[in-house]
Structures are given as C-alpha cells and as structure tokens.
Amino acid sequence: MTSAMRAWRVKQPGPVATQPLVLSTEPVPAAGPGEVLVRVLACGVCRTDLHVAEGDLPVHRPHVTPGHEVVGEVVAVYGEDAGRVTPGDRVGVAWLRGTCGVCRYCRRGAENLCPHSTYTGWDADGGYADFVTAPVDYMHRLPAGYSCQELAPLLCAGIIGYRALERAQLPRGGRLGIYGFGASAHLAAQVALARGAVVHVMTRGERARALALELGAASAGGPADAPPEPLDSAILFAPAGELVPPALEALDSGGTLAVAGIHLTDLPVLDYQRHLFRERQIRSVTANTRGDARAFLTFAAEHRLRVTTTPYPLAAADQALADLAADRVSGAAVLVP
C-alpha cells in the first residue's frame, strides 16, 4: 500500500470564491483503537461540507478534511476488531462518528442529541481524500445492487432525508411539500412516493423541477410558490429561512414542517394566525441515529432508489463545492478518486 495520499483541507473558512480548500499530499493516516483504515472509493459532496468550508458552522478541527458520505474498502483492521470487518469489505462511513453512550439522550435512544457526539468531516478528517479512518461501531453495511457512486449520497442525503420525513409526521397517503430539490430531497421524495404520498416540489432551477416530475411528483413550482393543494406535511431542505413562512402557510390544519438542514439563514417574523394557528407546527432535524441509518439502508435494499449523481474527480472537489453553492449540480455531486 502506498504511504502517501491526497487530501483536501479547509485552509481558511470563507466563501467558495475565496478558495477555502487546498489540496495536499500527506501520509496515509493510522487507525486508532476501535478504528479501521478505509480506502475511499466514492465520497458524496454534501451541503454540510459547504457550511464547514464557508464557515457557516464553527470550526471543530482546524484544517479539517471534509466529507462524510464515504463508500470505501476496508484496508486494515487492528486488534479486537478483526473478524467484525475484514480487509476487502465495502463499508459506509457517515456523518455520525461517535457518541458517549451514557448520557440521558443516548440512554433513551436519541444519540443524535448527545452533547458529546462527534462527526466525520467536522470533528475528524473525512472522505475528501484517498484514505480515511473510521470507528467500526459507526460504519454501515451497504445494500447490494448499487454502484459506489450511487451509494455515497445514501449515507447522509438519504439518511437525513429519511429522518426529516419521519419528523414531518406524514400520514399514510398524505400530501407532502418539499422545498429545495437536491441530493437529500430527491431521495426523500422517493421514500414518500413509495409509501403512497402525493408529493409537491417547490424549488428553483428548471433541471431540479424536471427531475422532480420524472420521479413522480404531482407538481413542481418555484421555491416560494403555493402548492396546488393544502399540505399535510412539508420538509424544508433549502437552507433559506425566508421559505419557512410560505411553507407553514401551505400546511393544512394540524400540518407539520420539518427543517432538515444543519444551518438555516435567519427566519422572518412569523404571523401567528397565518403561519401557526390551527395546530400547525415546525420541527427541527438534528443529525441522525444509527437506527435511522439502518432503517433507511434497509429501505434502499428493498426498494431500488434512483440516485441521480454528478461525478467529479477527487482533484476537482473545490469545483464540486462551487457548483453545489451555485445550484449547478443535478442530484448529488460525488467525488470518485
């Protein structure tokens, strides 16, 4: 195995136009206790990576390597982890990297709320590299029938979209509104459609609206347009706080809006009668549990999802982020080393 690798690092958080990422050559990392070394086969480019690079999220690890939708091959296993995974296994490395396991949130099954949780590509180096280390307990077995490029977006876009759908409390066969239609939204829409929902998409970009209709959405309009019928549930994927009022106003009585992003621009003032009365509610989505990941990946194994991707070589990770920021990506951008 080679002793050196390529890795992108956040040199100085700032707008993509200031080129916050720098590509370096450095030693292959050594796995620590409870970890394995993984060769990266594909890594999705997530909007959270953009928030890390641009400084929307506070710095947790200076000069971190982003990337938390990693499909890889186990290269080396150490000590007691031998046998749980073996060299050559294809595994998934996702956003949630570690939790304490003993706090009140972990004990009640809400490990996504653990105050000591850590995250791939934020607290520890991620998959914008040739190799990454990962804790065995937080890696995922992957469904068959998908290419590495297709699997990568499932590991965050898919999982967080699935949790957002659960948080939105969509009734069986209900009417769902989706605001923004990128990597996560186009997967969540397919889960909802498979469950019998009627889906209405509000997003900017003709290509995104065309994809929504191809996948089975009943309508596709502009980001702040009113859907053609009242909604039982809605999910806001776009990190745009100004879309919260129109999304709430589109809800039927008793409807729920789930906000799926880790970052959201400031919310305008809400009008109680127009936006919240009649028991409409708004719920945030905070990361995910390993249970969410298992449930979604099981769903993906049982229902062949259409995963729309735009591939980039690893050397073009900065361009992939710039394209994501400018909404030039159809579906999910994926780095393929």
Same domain, residue pair 238 and 277: yes
Count: domains in the chain: 2
Together in a domain, 323 and 251: no
Place of tokens 């390597």: 65
CATH value at residue 203: 3.40.50.720
Quote the CA–CA distance of 78 and 266 in Å, as a whole number. Answer: 46
Supply the pLDDT for residue 91. 97
pLDDT, position 76: 86
| CATH number of the domain within which 321 lies | 3.90.180.10
Has residue 153 been placed in a domain? Answer: no
Residue 194 domain-assigned (yes or no)? yes
Taking 70 as the pLDDT cut, the residues of the chain under it are 1, 79-83
In a domain, 293, yes or no: no
Whether residue 80 is found in the same domain as residue 179: no
One domain, residues 224 and 110:
no
Residues 280 and 315 in one domain: no
The encoded tokens of residue 2 equal 């080679």
Residue 264 amino acid letter: L
132 Rama class: left (phi>0) / alpha (psi -120 to 50) / beta: beta
Do 85 and 188 reside in the same domain of the chain? no
Domain match, 164 and 254 both: yes
Containing domain of residue 58, as a range?
A: 4-141+307-335
With the C-alpha atoms ordered 257, 262, 265, 268, is the resulting torsion angle positive or negative? positive
132 and 19 in a common domain: yes
Residue 154 lies in a domain: no
201 and 135 part of one domain: no
* CB contact set of 122 (below 8 Å; sequence gap of 6+): 48, 52, 57, 60, 61, 64, 66, 68
Q: What is the pTM of this model?
A: 0.93
Residues 116 and 237 in one domain: no
Residue 128 placed within a domain: yes
In this predicted model, what pLDDT tens digit does every residue of 195-234 receive, in sequence order? 999 999 999 989 999 999 999 999 999 999 999 999 999 9
Query: Taking a C-beta distance cutoff of 8 angstroms, is the pair 121, 148 a contact?
Result: no
Which pLDDT score, from 0 to 100, does residue 33 have?
Answer: 86
Does residue 52 fall inside a structural domain?
yes
Same-domain pairing of 248 and 326: no
Could you identify the residue written with the tokens 């296993």? 77
pLDDT at 81: 63
Residue 223 sits in the same domain as residue 315? no
Q: Residue 266 falls within a domain, yes or no?
A: yes
Q: How far apart are CA 231 and CA 177, in angstroms?
A: 6
Residue 242 falls inside a structural domain: yes
